[in-house]
Structure 1
Amino acid sequence: MKNDQRPPGRRTLLRLAAGLGAAAAVRVIAADPAGEAVRADDPPPAGAPGLKAAVPTEPTAHRLRPMTAGAPPRFRPMAPPVRTRPFEELPEIGHAMVLTFDDGPDPLYTPEILAILRAHDVRAMFFLCGEMAHDNQDLVRAIADDGHTIGNHSWNHPLVTRLSRAGVRDELGPTSEAIERITGAPPRWYRAPYGAWNRNSFEIGAELGMEPMAWTVDSLDWTRPGVGTIVRRIQEGAAPGVVVLSHDAGGNRSQSVAALRRYLPELLDDGYRITVPRRR
């Protein structure tokens, strides 16, 4: 056998293997955009007493569908560390607060909330139910186009602690798929309905690349206590790093809209920035 026909030597093979290993490492690093530091000592989540008003749409039969045979695997962000408690507040954001709205989008109330936020040039978080997102796709796009953060709030708002592991996956998975299909990006945050968390929801949420978000101040706006009461609760709870829970769907939310119109400019006048958390 001639010299130029000899099989590659051990050193050549090692160099080739090292090159392949480096390429694989580059792919892993590029696929891990979230190297966020986490707090393991978060306080336990605040509960959300009472029952949620019925969502004014019928659940659909939408479920995840298997990929077409031979199609390349879809990119998924690497899962964050699995939490045992959700984030309730975000002290690292400085003199700022986070406004969150659950259960939507609703064609009657969500556009009004978006208009108020737009008028003051602030961003909020919207935790969407999958069936509502599926039925109101233009609103989902409007939320994303305005720069707000979209989170996963399950498909049809069950008490997930009563679901099997497969049941939790059926609630979170299709909701993330619907949001990604509509906006082009999967949600990176989720919130358990009623604030009821368990290990299955933490683990499955992490598998889907999401962080759990609870709240610090519950406006209890879903009880319709009066606009003044909602405003007072939020003003009294205002503090740096606070996360405020309100609703833009699931019932008559006219009080929630009217309250936002009052308390938002007052918070801004008090020097608070209204912002959304960033995944590092």
Structure 2
Amino acid sequence: MKKDQLLTRRAALLAGGVGAAATAGVLTAVTGDVPAGSGPAAGAQARSPRSASAYRLQPLTGYGPPHAAPRRTLVRREPLLRVSGRGRTIVLTFDDGPDPRYTPDVLDTLAEYDVRAMFFVCGEMAADSRGLLSRMTDEGHVVGNHTWSHPLLTRLTRRQIRREMERTSEVIEETCGERPEWFRAPYGAWNRATFQIGAELGMEPLAWTLDTLDWTTPGTRSIVRRVENGAAPGVVVLSHDAGGDRSQSVRALRRYLPGLLDSGYRVTVPRRHYA
């Protein structure tokens, strides 16, 4: 699928109640390495805005490099939604890239303010932009797995899901020198197979707490407003650096990032917890 077709695909999914929207609304916390009870996972395109207090949940992960070599990855029943850290921490994540039209500007802005973010990359995009992938790693960002071609995983066989994840992990490892430790399902569409296969490949599932809805191109001011209104300790922000025209996302980042820092937020990346 061409990346500039994702917007139409997302709109169709929302209209049909598939994927992320079908799993929206569950923000029950998971503590330590014990999975939360069964239930729908995090929603990708939540339609109703939530107040900042809605995000103040029990944190899931910490920060900084792991203190010990990984042993095994827990098979979860739902994705992680938020993180913990010292003080007012917040995580910025960018999906669907890298895209040579927009990703460099995102990286430039992050570098200007000396902050780290997470990039959930699609393998077919990463394979064509390995220089950007290398730059992400060199500048301290976390590169996660967002599948190869951005399919709706809940409609694929286990073999197809594994191939989508494996191919992307291989590109990341070849380019960055290590396999990804995090993955995110396209459209926020998770099922048991995605959690199991992701764990078998050594990855934790990370969703988000705050969707900027930048994929709808609502306008730069609207994106900035969503981040400013939804910011709270532990929040994971979802934005995009590919999959369509992301010029609004680039401009919005330039506006809200200094504001977050001036408000005392520490923009950082999560640390893995191993079972």
Gaps of 5+ in 2: 1-30, 47-68
Partner in structure 2 of residue 210 of structure 1 = 203
Query: What SS does the aligned partner of 1:180 have?
Result: helix
Correspondence 1:160 to 2:156 = no
The counterpart of 1:219, out of the listed 203, 212, 224, is: 212
Partner in structure 1 of residue 60 of structure 2 = none
Query: What SS does the aligned partner of 1:135 have?
Result: coil
Query: What SS does the aligned partner of 2:119 have?
Result: strand
Partner in structure 1 of residue 252 of structure 2 = 259
Compute the RMSD of aligned alpha carbons: 1.8
Partner in structure 2 of residue 7 of structure 1 = none
The counterpart of 2:268, out of the listed 266, 275, 279, is: 275
Q: Give the letter for the 1:38 counterpart.
A: D
Partner in structure 2 of residue 190 of structure 1 = 183
1:240-271, Cα deviation, whole Å (9 max, x unpaired): 00000000000000000000000000000000
Tell me the matched-pair count. 220
The counterpart of 1:174, out of the listed 167, 173, 180, is: 167
Q: Please give the residue correspondences for 1:35-54 in structure 2 after superposition, counting only pairs within 5 Å.
A: 37-41=32-36, 44-49=40-45
Deviation at 1:46, TM superposition (A): 2.8
Correspondence 1:137 to 2:130 = yes
Deviation at 1:78, TM superposition (A): 4.4
Query: What SS does the aligned partner of 1:140 have?
Result: helix
Q: Give the letter for the 2:207 counterpart.
A: A
Partner Cα separation in structure 2 for residue 95 and residue 165 of structure 1: 39
Change (3 A) 1:230 1:198: same
Partner in structure 1 of residue 27 of structure 2 = none
TM-score scaled by structure 1? 0.75
Deviation at 1:159, TM superposition (A): 0.3
Partner Cα separation in structure 1 for residue 263 and residue 34 of structure 2: 28
Partner in structure 1 of residue 75 of structure 2 = 82
Give the share of equivalent positions with the same residue, in percent. Answer: 60
Q: Give the letter for the 1:271 counterpart.
A: G
Partners of 1:93 and 1:240 within 8 A in 2: no
Partners of 2:36 and 2:77 within 8 A in 1: no
Partner Cα separation in structure 2 for residue 129 and residue 224 of structure 1: 20
1:178-230, Cα deviation, whole Å (9 max, x unpaired): 10011100000000000000000000000000000000000000100000000
Query: What SS does the aligned partner of 1:257 have?
Result: helix
Change (3 A) 1:194 1:145: same
Partner Cα separation in structure 2 for residue 93 and residue 203 of structure 1: 31
Query: What SS does the aligned partner of 1:243 have?
Result: strand
Gaps of 5+ in 1: 1-35, 51-75
Deviation at 1:90, TM superposition (A): 1.1
Partner Cα separation in structure 2 for residue 84 and residue 94 of structure 1: 28
Q: Please give the residue correspondences for 1:93-112 in structure 2 after superposition, counting only pairs within 5 Å.
A: 93-112=86-105
Partner Cα separation in structure 2 for residue 202 and residue 174 of structure 1: 17
Partner Cα separation in structure 1 for residue 264 and residue 40 of structure 2: 29
Deviates more, 1:78-87 or 1:239-248: 78-87
1:1-43, Cα deviation, whole Å (9 max, x unpaired): xxxxxxxxxxxxxxxxxxxxxxxxxxxxxxxxxxx94242388
